[in-house]
């Protein structure tokens, strides 16, 4: 086993940021602006990412560097300048945080109706630490799992990590969560998410998983995680790696499908022998691994990158599952790829892989009404349009139903689109006016 395989976990946070930025060759003014961005958006990485994944000779343009390190132009220049001035003047932290909070409020911290529409209730009371958007699937946010081994700069759950309780979903009341699921027999799948569930030690994650095994209605338990990319030692050499794999076996032996929803944003995250070993151990427990990631400008906006990822994942025994569109939150303007280009990237990558890789779906927007897939661009009755359909929907009657939008080469999200051949989209209420 190489040194990376036996090393204990070491995190780097904002207090280490300046020294790491020097390693990337950034000057004083550039580092100050990046630190200003990091007062708004969370920064955390670890020694494995820093020492094993980033090509420092290519930084700051290296895709893995860009995946975890803030960039000075992620936020409006005027906001960055104000925050940089406060940092330079060594202003009181309360003043810096007040300005950071003002900027955060403009970044749509909870997209797609997460706080307004997705929070379940028992009677008149909300159930903390849960979301229930689609009938079949309930999301659980364990209190101890609301961080990650490293943060992705594009993460749509960035608001979970900035230390503001009003922006966080989390609870450790598993009894209440289980009671809610029992009251809703339509729930057949639970997704444990965060943050990253695999940041928790085996005794803690067991407290959340074991009670779910007694729910006959559940067919599957999913774990949303980036650990395979950012800390594969979690499944190989960490002290509780064996116990964790044993817990996975218990889930499978209880008759539940255990699905790892593994996030891989770039092929380099798959190259380490540690990842291959971790994948084999997880698959050996009886779990499946499905892979997904958003399409991100400057990191993976190239069909060859996706084709390479999907083929490598298939060889390793994983199932390519989703290409997402970057969500309408945080620095979306910085990372977003226009929908027309996103479709071209997906199509060009999809066309180069075998049928076994074509389990992947996308490009998909996880928008307020549901997961909307861009199926293509075509011309109908002399009008150029996007072809779209719902992979999943808040209203189940919309699933699989095709609809059309006027072609817009600059559109990056569902709300940028206008209906074609109809006065409204199928998810809009009757009487909705045609936007102008």
pLDDT digits (tens, 9 = 90+) for 162-194: 555 555 567 889 999 999 999 999 999 999 998
Element (H, E) at 191: strand 189-192
Q: What is the pLDDT of residues 268-319, one digit of tens each?
A: 999 999 999 999 999 999 999 999 999 999 999 999 999 999 999 999 999 9
Find residue 322's DSSP bridge partners.
Answer: 292, 361
Q: Please report the pLDDT score of residue 145 as a whole number.
A: 87
For CA atoms 190, 169, 15, 77, give the dihedral sign: positive
Q: How far apart are the first and last CA of the chain?
A: 61
For the entire predicted model, the pTM comes to 0.91
Residue 258: burial class (beta carbons within 10 Å; 0-12, 13-18, 19+): buried
CATH of 110-294, picked from 3.20.20.70, 3.30.160.110, 1.10.10.10, 3.30.1490.150, is 3.20.20.70
436 has a pLDDT exceeding 50:
no
The owner of tokens 């599952």 is: 321
Token code pair at residue 30: 């550039």
Q: Please report the pLDDT score of residue 187 as a whole number.
A: 97
3-state DSSP assignment of residue 63: helix
Check if the beta carbon of residue 306 is closer than 8 Å to that of residue 296.
no
State mean pLDDT over 130-135. Answer: 93
Question: Domain residue spans in the chain?
Answer: 11-105, 110-294, 326-435
Q: Please report the pLDDT score of residue 163 as a whole number.
A: 58
Pick the closest to residue 52 from 361, 270, 369, 309 (CA basis).
270
| Rounded-to-integer distance, Cα 269 and Cα 300, Å | 12
């Amino acid at each position: 086993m190489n040194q990376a395989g036996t090393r204990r976990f070491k995190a780097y946070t904002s207090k280490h940021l300046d020294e790491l930025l020097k390693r990337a060759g950034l000057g004083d003014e550039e580092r100050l602006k990046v630190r200003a961005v990091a007062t708004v958006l969370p920064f955390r990485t670890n020694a494995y990412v820093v020492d094993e994944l980033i090509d420092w000779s290519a930084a700051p343009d290296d895709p893995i560097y860009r995946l975890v390190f803030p960039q000075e132009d992620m936020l409006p220049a005027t906001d960055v300048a104000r925050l940089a001035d406060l940092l330079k003047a060594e202003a009181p932290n309360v003043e810096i945080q007040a300005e950071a909070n003002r900027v955060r409020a403009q970044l749509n911290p909870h997209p797609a109706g997460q706080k307004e529409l997705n929070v379940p209730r028992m009677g008149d009371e909300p159930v903390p630490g849960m979301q229930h958007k689609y009938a079949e699937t309930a999301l659980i946010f364990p209190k101890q799992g609301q961080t990650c081994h490293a943060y992705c700069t594009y993460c749509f759950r960035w608001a979970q990590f900035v230390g503001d309780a009003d922006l966080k979903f989390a609870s450790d009341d598993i009894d209440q969560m289980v009671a809610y699921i029992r009251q809703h027999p339509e729930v057949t799948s639970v997704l444990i998410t965060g943050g990253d569930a695999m940041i928790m030690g085996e005794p803690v994650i067991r407290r959340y998983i074991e009670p779910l095994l007694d729910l006959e209605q559940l067919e599957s338990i999913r774990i949303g995680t980036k650990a395979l990319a950012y800390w594969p030692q979690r499944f190989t050499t960490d002290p509780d790696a064996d116990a964790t794999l044993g817990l996975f076996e218990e889930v499978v032996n209880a008759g539940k499908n255990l699905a790892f929803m593994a996030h891989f944003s770039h092929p380099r995250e798959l190259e380490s022998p540690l990842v291959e070993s971790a994948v084999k151990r997880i698959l050996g427990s009886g779990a499946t691994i499905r892979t997904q990631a958003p399409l991100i400008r400057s990191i993976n906006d190239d069909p060859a990158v996706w084709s390479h990822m999907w083929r490598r994942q298939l060889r390793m025994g994983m199932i390519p599952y989703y290409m997402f569109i970057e969500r309408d939150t945080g620095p979306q303007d910085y990372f977003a790829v226009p929908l027309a280009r996103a479709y071209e990237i997906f199509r060009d990558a999809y066309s180069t892989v075998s049928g076994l890789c074509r389990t992947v779906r996308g490009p998909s927007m996880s928008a307020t009404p549901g997961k909307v897939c861009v199926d293509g661009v075509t011309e109908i009755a002399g009008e150029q349009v996007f072809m779209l359909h719902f992979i999943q929907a808040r209203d189940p009657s919309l699933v699989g139903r095709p609809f059309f939008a006027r072609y817009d080469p600059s559109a990056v999200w569902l709300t940028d689109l206008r209906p074609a051949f109809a006065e409204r989209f199928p998810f809009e209420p009757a009487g909705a006016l045609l936007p102008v």
